[in-house]
Amino acid sequence: MLESFENKYGVNYYCKNTILVSFPKCGRTWMRMMLTRLLDSTGMDYTKTEPILSLHYSVSDVLENIGENVNILYITRDPRDVVVSYYCEESIRKNRYIGDVSSFIRDENKGLSKILDYMKDWEDAIKNNTFLSSLSLRYEDMRNNPVSNLKKTSKFLNIECNDLQIQDAVNYSSFENMRKVEDGNGINYLSKYKGGFGKGDKRTGDQRRVRKGKIGGYVDYLNTEDIEYINEKIKGK
């Protein structure tokens, strides 16, 4: 299944039989950037190789299109921050949603319910050992201790590396440098057909792809009623 997926896109992956999954705006691109830099230190040729198959697939999407005989690297994040960041992506950056953030949160097709359902399905699949093996990371932990979490990830992916290479990958993929990359020429060794991390389009503020990355930043965007609504929904899951 995975081999046919590779053939479809004409690309090979260093981390065979492993998929990096997350809901949008949970740190998936950041992790790809760290892994790419880490593997780049080994002298790998990225003209034909991606570090890892990286998708926003749901559990059912993976089972249907790839199968269960894969390893899962899953990243999750506080849904309150996710829904705000996703709103900025869909509404402000890509103009795919018309309405304010309060309406977006309550939208059954795009808002909080979609995020919570996605996260619950993946948490259940990992808990029930649906796939070969799995490693779950929290965005908040990655932000607070990126070195430790990248070490954990490299061990899971069987990447042979040293502490200097880990630190270099973390430094290169810092929030500040990711913004410079977005404003500059992008990263030419991330596949263009996978979305990659391409050349910046000179957008500013909430139009940026690398926006803020702040833990708990939702409080700057949501009113008390919105926060209470979200908290109740989270409790219900």
- Which tens digit of pLDDT belongs to each residue from 91-149? 876 778 889 999 999 998 889 999 999 999 999 999 999 999 999 999 999 999 999 99
Strands (E), 23-162: 49-50, 53-55, 71-76, 133-138
Q: How far is CA 196 from CA 13, 135, 183, 186, 221, in A?
A: 14, 23, 14, 8, 28
Provide the 3-class DSSP secondary structure of residue 76. Answer: strand
pTM: 0.86
43-57, 109-123, 131-145, 207-221: segment of lowest average pLDDT: 207-221
Q: How confident is the model at residue 68 (pLDDT cuts 50, 70, 90)?
A: very high
Percent of the chain surpassing pLDDT 90: 51
pLDDT of residue 188 exceeding 50:
no
- The identity of residue 212, as a single letter, is K
Q: Report the CATH architecture of 2-236.
A: 3-Layer(aba) Sandwich (3.40)
pLDDT of residue 50 exceeding 70:
yes
User: Please, what's the b/e burial string for 11-30 (b: 16 or more CB within 10 A of its CB; e: otherwise)?
Assistant: eebbbebbbbbbbebbbbbb
Q: How confident is the model at residue 184 (pLDDT cuts 50, 70, 90)?
A: low
